[in-house]
């Protein structure tokens, strides 16, 4: 006979029908161990050693599993395929090893995503070992829950009577929000000025230009409006000067260049013609 451990008693009855008389399916009713709500359950200075506690109801279910294993050939852990399910299988195996209930019995882990006969039988045909990285992820989450929540929840209850316990996610998120709010409260607003102009290209495309340097010095912000006015006046005076024509840099401007050359040529012809008439 083979002993199969699942989480739900309803699943246990259905799966037992699929597997037949050669299997005995028992339910763990969820987690069988937890960290006791007292100091010392998690010891960070001792490589995060954890002390687990089995409650009365879970102790009875583990006793039933131990009794069933006495005449069994193997133990099959068939809890849910998620992280919590993997952790439940690990807890059951740890307790049974401490009780020395397994001895030389074969232990395997199977998972299925649907309670159908085909899914269950396929899972039984493809057993594996417990996923250690998934169990480690559960242990890390549980340690954080204890170290953050267990120490912070009493403070929360004192400050906000009737509040629920603090968690690892909410506590860190609250810290980030409080830090950001403190930065906002400490911020001192300063008036500053920037100079920008709406300009157009020769083709009439509009764009915004921002003054970033003046007299060879980089400009970021001007706190004195007088400095901004002096820069504007200076820039206006410089822009009033006659600038040279822009160089021809694109093929579509060749017609402009051709027009300029033609105009210069005609002016030279007219000049020579005037000189001839004077003679």
> pLDDT for 187-215, tens place per residue?
888 777 777 888 888 888 888 888 777 77
Kindly state whether residues 96 and 27 are assigned to the same domain: yes
| 111 and 147 part of one domain | no
The predicted pLDDT at position 190 comes to 77
Question: pLDDT tens, 99-157?
Answer: 999 988 999 999 999 999 999 999 999 999 999 999 999 999 999 888 887 777 788 78
Alpha-carbon radius of gyration of the chain: 41
Same domain, 179 and 194: no
Highest mean pLDDT among 81-85, 199-203, 222-226, 256-260: 81-85
Based on the domain organization, do 54 and 81 belong to the same domain? yes
Integer CA distances (angstroms), 54 to 31, 34, 58, 258, in order: 9, 7, 6, 96
Going through 166-274 in order, the beta strands assigned E by DSSP cover 196-200, 206-210, 213-214, 217-218
Is there a single domain that holds both residue 197 and residue 81?
Answer: no
Confidence (pLDDT) at 157: 81
> Could you tell me if 39 and 125 lie in one domain?
yes
**183 near 207, Cβ under 8 Å?**
no
Cβ-based neighbours of 28, under 8 Å, separated by 6 or more: 5, 6, 7, 58, 61, 65, 79, 88, 92
In a domain, residue 211? The reply is yes
Average pLDDT over residues 145-173: 78
Residues 6+ positions from 29 with CB-CB distance below 8 Å = 7, 8, 9, 57, 58, 61
End residue of a domain, out of 130, 151, 168? 130
Residue 159 falls within a domain, yes or no? yes
Residue 271 belongs to a domain: no
If asked whether residues 65 and 9 sit together in one domain, one would say yes
Q: What is the pLDDT of residue 158?
A: 83
Q: What are phi and psi of 53, to 5 degrees?
A: -130, 135
Structure confidence at residue 228 (pLDDT)? 56
pLDDT score of 6 more than 80: yes
Pair 90, 146 in one domain: no
DSSP string, 158-184: HHSTT-----HHHHHHHHHHHHHHHHH
pLDDT tens-digit map of 23-82 = 999 999 999 999 998 888 999 999 999 999 999 999 999 999 999 999 899 999 999 999
- The per-residue pLDDT for 236 is 45
| Residues 227-247, mean pLDDT to the nearest whole number | 50
Q: Could you tell me how far CA 102 lies from the centroid of its own chain?
A: 41
Which residues sit opposite 209 in a β-bridge? 197
Structural domain contains residue 215 = yes
Q: How many domains does the chain have?
A: 3
Specify whether 30 is located in the same domain as 114: yes
Same domain membership, residue 122 and residue 13:
yes
Contact 87, 52 (CB under 8 A): no
Q: Which comes out higher in pLDDT, residue 174 or 248?
A: 174
111 domain residue, yes or no = yes
Number of alpha carbons in the 13 Å side-chain half-sphere of residue 197: 10
Domain that holds residue 202: 190-241
For the domain that residue 121 is a member of, what is the CATH number? 3.40.50.140
Note the pTM of the prediction, 2 decimals: 0.62
- Reply yes or no on whether the pLDDT at 253 is more than 60: no
Residues 176 and 222 in one domain: no
């Amino acid at each position: 006979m083979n002993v199969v451990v699942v989480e739900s008693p309803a699943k246990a009855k259905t799966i037992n029908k699929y597997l037949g008389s050669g299997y005995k399916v028992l339910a763990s009713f969820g987690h069988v161990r937890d960290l006791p709500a007292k100091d010392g359950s998690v010891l960070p200075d001792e490589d995060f050693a954890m002390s687990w506690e089995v409650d009365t109801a879970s102790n009875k279910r583990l006793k039933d599993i131990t009794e069933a294993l006495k005449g069994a050939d193997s133990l099959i852990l068939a809890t849910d395929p998620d992280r919590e399910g993997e952790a439940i299988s690990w807890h059951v195996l740890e307790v049974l090893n401490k009780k020395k209930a397994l001895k030389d019995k074969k232990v395997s882990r199977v998972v299925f995503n649907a309670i159908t006969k085909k899914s269950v039988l396929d899972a039984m045909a493809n057993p594996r070992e417990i996923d250690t990285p998934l169990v480690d992820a559960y242990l890390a989450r549980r340690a954080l829950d204890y170290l953050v929540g267990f120490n912070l929840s009493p403070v929360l209850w004192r400050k906000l009577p009737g509040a629920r316990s603090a968690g690892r996610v909410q506590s860190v998120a609250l810290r980030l929000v409080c830090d950001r709010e403190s930065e906002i409260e400490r911020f001192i607003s300063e008036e500053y000025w920037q100079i920008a102009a709406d300009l157009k290209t020769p083709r009439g495309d509009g764009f915004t230009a921002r003054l970033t340097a003046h007299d060879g010095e980089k400009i970021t912000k001007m706190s004195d409006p007088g400095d901004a006015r002096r820069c504007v006046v200076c820039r206006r005076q410089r822009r009033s000067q006659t600038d040279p024509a822009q160089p021809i840099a694109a093929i579509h401007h060749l017609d402009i260049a051709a027009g300029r050359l033609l105009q210069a040529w005609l002016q030279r012809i007219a000049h020579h013609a005037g000189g001839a008439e004077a003679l």
